[in-house]
Amino acid sequence: METFCLERGEGALSMATERYYMRTLARITHIISLVMAVVLAAVAAQAQTAPKKILFFSKSSGFEHDMIKKRGDAPSPAEKILAELGQKNNLEFTFSKDGSLFTPAYLARFDAFFFYTTGDLTKVGTDKNPPMTAEGKAAFLEAIHNGKGFIGTHSATDTFHTPGGSWEANGDNADPYIKMIGGEFIIHGSQQATRQICVDKSFPGMSAVPDDFGPLEEWYSLKDFAPNLHVLLVQDTSTMNKSGGNAKAYDRPNYPSTWAHLYGKGRVFYTSMGHREDVWTSPVFQKVLLGGINWAVGNVEADVTPNLEKAAPQANVLPKP
């Protein structure tokens, strides 16, 4: 009898121990699940708040603008402004004039590329900084086509000109870079204040553009507009000086001056503004620029349905030289 009771007691003890271990394991599993959820949430939050990385490239193989000219080791005026805007808006800028860095591995480090450039960047040119290779240019365009963002200001359209006369349209024969950015510089007249017509107030930053917006600026006359442009600002040529010197560049119907469009999977934003420092420090320009940057890097969404034919139906009627 005693043996039977002992056996029952040992059995009861074994079952109690098993239940204890099962409850303990369940608690540990629950704790691990909670810890993992917290870790994953923290990783997701960090990914959402991590700054987008942008390469600001300002090599000048052609004319070098004062806004991107460095004096000694001091940053250029544009670099100073962008560094401040980046700190305030969770954007991380890398500043470079070295085209030799354009390799697939280097380009993969960035979410977008911001160009304020001139000329054929595969040549040493004016500023004597190292040029891109042909392979580097191809890798850069492929990176955008595959989903990287691109931002261009002012003379970014005065870059990689299509061979041939500057006053003629090149269409399908345009340089691949021109097809990417969406337009090409022809010429400019004297600096003047001229009205910009805002076509889409819903695009990020464009709500800041007043109806009478028209800063003193060096306005570009442009050609070879990509057919899928989503035009944001239109150059109102009726308000421009069209006589004397290069002013004939504006003897044409209205045409786009700021736009967004898709290049493959890449988001491309360009504005012809940016020659003058007082434009760069203007609150309106900065809001327009930040809106374009944030869209290009994917921080915000926008409808970029092509609207060239509606916004500037005679944009491809070019001035006569």
Q: In this structure, what CATH number is given to the domain that contains residue 144? A: 3.40.50.880
Are residue 106 and residue 40 in the same domain, yes or no?
no
- Residue 103's CB is within 10 A of a number of other CB atoms, namely 14
Are residue 75 and residue 103 in the same domain, yes or no?
yes
Within a domain: 217: yes
For the chain, what is the domain count? 2
| Residues contacting residue 214 through CB under 8 Å, at least 6 positions apart | 193, 194, 195, 196, 236, 239
Are residue 24 and residue 85 in the same domain, yes or no?
no
The pLDDT assigned to 301 comes to: 98
| Residues contacting residue 199 through CB under 8 Å, at least 6 positions apart | 231, 232, 233, 234, 307, 311
Are residue 46 and residue 57 in the same domain, yes or no?
no
Are residue 86 and residue 225 in the same domain, yes or no?
yes
Are residue 83 and residue 172 in the same domain, yes or no?
yes
Last residue within a domain, chosen from 35, 50, 65: 50
Q: What are phi and psi of 182, to 5 degrees?
A: 105, 5
Q: Which domain holds residue 3?
A: 1-50
Question: What stretches in the chain show pLDDT beneath 50?
Answer: 1-8, 35, 38-47
Q: How far is CA 35 from the centre of its chain?
A: 38
Within a domain: 318: no
Are residue 45 and residue 87 in the same domain, yes or no?
no
pTM for the structure as a whole: 0.85
CA distance 156 to 203: 21
Are residue 1 and residue 28 in the same domain, yes or no?
yes
Beta strands in 47-146 (DSSP E): 52-57, 91-96, 112-115
The pLDDT assigned to 289 comes to: 98
* Relative orientation angle of helices 77-89 and 283-296, to the nearest 10 degrees: 70
166: its two tokens: 């500057």
Are residue 63 and residue 132 in the same domain, yes or no?
yes
Beta strands in the chain (DSSP E): 52-57, 91-96, 112-115, 149-153, 184-188, 192-193, 196-198, 216-217, 220-223, 230-235, 255-263, 266-271
Within a domain: 319: no
- Residue 209's CB is within 10 A of a number of other CB atoms, namely 23
Q: How many CA atoms lie within 13 A of 217 on its CB side?
A: 24
Within a domain: 316: no
The pLDDT assigned to 107 comes to: 98
CA distance 270 to 260: 6
Last residue within a domain, chosen from 11, 28, 50: 50
Are residue 74 and residue 41 in the same domain, yes or no?
no
Within a domain: 321: no
Are residue 244 and residue 123 in the same domain, yes or no?
yes
The pLDDT assigned to 49 comes to: 85
List the one residue out of 260, 272, 269 whose CA is nearest residue 221.
272
The pLDDT assigned to 164 comes to: 78
Are residue 182 and residue 73 in the same domain, yes or no?
yes
Q: Cβ(234)–Cβ(219) under 8 Å?
A: no
